[in-house]
Amino acid sequence: MSLDSLDNLFLEELKDIYHAEKQLTRALPRMAKAAESPDLQQAFTTHLKETEGQIQRLEKIFKALGQPARGKRCKGMEGLVEEGKEKMEEEGEPPVLDAALIASAQKIEHYEIAAYGCLRTYSELLGMDEVGQLLQQTLEEEEATDKKLTQLGESGINEAAVAAGAGMEEEEE
Ligand code: FE
Ligand code: FE
């Protein structure tokens, strides 16, 4: 498909995020399992449920456009998920690994926020009000997840990671 109209660009970006969200439904359970902090586990589990709802919203949008719900390989999300996986495979102190999971998850959320922000703006320009509302709902969920992850980091996980590192140094002495 050529990018000769905003309609086409909209559809291309829609396929990209659809594939990205599908990847996340497989990555989030692994992230929840890898997390040590029960609050962080909960955040990932909650966002998995939201992600399933976001996929349904995207399917509604495809339907509204009269298009089949079909994704197109999202290499951006593949890379982000792959980087997260690499960190999960590392040996380490659980609080530091939790801090790493938060960082990975926030990179993912920011990718999604950018994608949905563009899609929402295009939908407004294309006069698709109902589609725009669906995209706005998802955008708000992604932003709330990002904030929640920041709060989790600031409310102790990152400090625990600092303490874990300090403990290691003492042991080495
Ligand atoms: Fe999402
Ligand atoms: Fe998300």
**Which pairs count as long-range contacts for 130-137, CB under 8 Å and 24+ apart, including other chains?**
130/64, 131/61, 131/64, 131/65, 134/57, 134/60, 134/61, 135/57, 135/61, 137/57
Mean pLDDT throughout 31-48? 96
Number of the ligand closest to the Cα of 43: 2
d(CA 150, CA 160): 15
Is this model's pTM higher than 0.85 or not? Answer: yes
Taking only the tens place, the pLDDT of each residue in 139-151 is: 999 999 999 999 9
Domains recognised in the chain with CATH numbers: 6-161 (1.20.1260.10)
* 168 CA from centroid of ligand 1 (Å): 36
* 156 CA from centroid of ligand 2 (Å): 22
**pLDDT for 167 beyond 80:** no
Taking only the tens place, the pLDDT of each residue in 14-25 is: 999 999 999 999
d(CA 123, CA 132): 5
d(CA 8, CA 87): 36
Number of the ligand closest to the Cα of 138: 1
> What tokens were used for 28?
């989030």
Taking only the tens place, the pLDDT of each residue in 58-115 is: 999 999 999 999 999 999 999 999 999 999 998 899 999 999 999 999 999 999 999 9
* 14 CA from centroid of ligand 1 (Å): 12
